[in-house]
Amino acid sequence: MKTTINLIAVVLLLAGAALMTGCTDDRTAPTQTNDPVYSQTIELFSKRPAAGADVSAAFTVRDSVVDARLLVSGFIRPDGGMAMFLRLGDELDSLTDRINGLDALIIPLDLKANKTAADSAALDSLSLLKTTSIEQVQMREETRDSLDTRLDGRFKVSIWLDGDVTELYPRAIYLDSAAVPTHLHTGEEVVWGQGFYLAQADTGGVHGKTMRLDLKRMMVADATYRHPSKPGRPANPDLLPELFPVTDWLSRLTPGSHTLHVRFGEAGTETQVSASLYFVYKRAG
């Protein structure tokens, strides 16, 4: 009996030790790094009314900047031109569906070995309807392409730093007058490629898009070159032809006070703009 009691005591002692071991705090203090680098995010302004007006904000650079990102968000309440562009897109989708449906009827009739007079008449009628539909597609595509140029110019974003006298148009190109719609004013300058108006709408009908720019190497419109024709819109806007790299902003962001300026849209457009900066610093010394 005594042996049994001693055995039970030993088992309980071992269980208690295991329980205490399981409750031990095994967390360790974070290791300290000698890398003197840290980051900072600065919100410059949020949904500031724009409509082509200059929107500016001052900020302070703390230390030597080794990396930086600028985020610019544009918000658009569609105007008549945007509404027409969107409507044409819906019509093009419907016409494409119609043409596909006509093909599904035309092809079997066309392949039929022994066509009746009724078959031939139906084939002629369907083919004429397809031709008319294709012509309607072409007209709408031409109008939509013209609107694409005009809207991209109307809802463009430009930025400049401190006292710069020249605005920069990130991820955009200048178009020659031969490449722009004839209804534009003679000599009107067109900046194309940013595609802010192409952003999807939210539940309130406002279209919004954010542009993330690497200030080490920011690709902007080359002010010395005008493209003779409008290229296809690339999936990656940094791949637009003849973009000009700006590489001096990082070195210009010296410790102290600076001001960022943004312009979005044109007078008469219902637009808002937001901007923020993300800095990676290296401590002096």
Residue 54's beta-bridge partner residues? Answer: 263
Contact 74, 155 (CB under 8 A): yes
Domain limits, the chain: 37-79+151-282, 82-149
> Could you tell me the pTM of the whole model?
0.78
Determine the straight-line distance between the first and last CA of the chain, rounded to whole angstroms. 76
Alpha-carbon distances, residue 214 vs 16, 112, 189, 247, 257 (angstroms):
59, 61, 26, 10, 20
Whole-number pLDDT of residue 23? 47
Contact 166, 160 (CB under 8 A): yes
Architecture of domain 37-79+151-282: Sandwich (2.60)
| Residue ranges, the chain, pLDDT below 70 | 1-35, 181-188, 284-285
Number of residues that make up the chain: 285
Contact 217, 247 (CB under 8 A): yes
The rounded radius of gyration (Å) of the Cα atoms in the chain is 32
Whole-number pLDDT of residue 203? 83
CA distance 149 to 120: 44
Residues 243-262 have pLDDT tens digits of 999 999 999 999 999 999 99
Contact 132, 83 (CB under 8 A): no
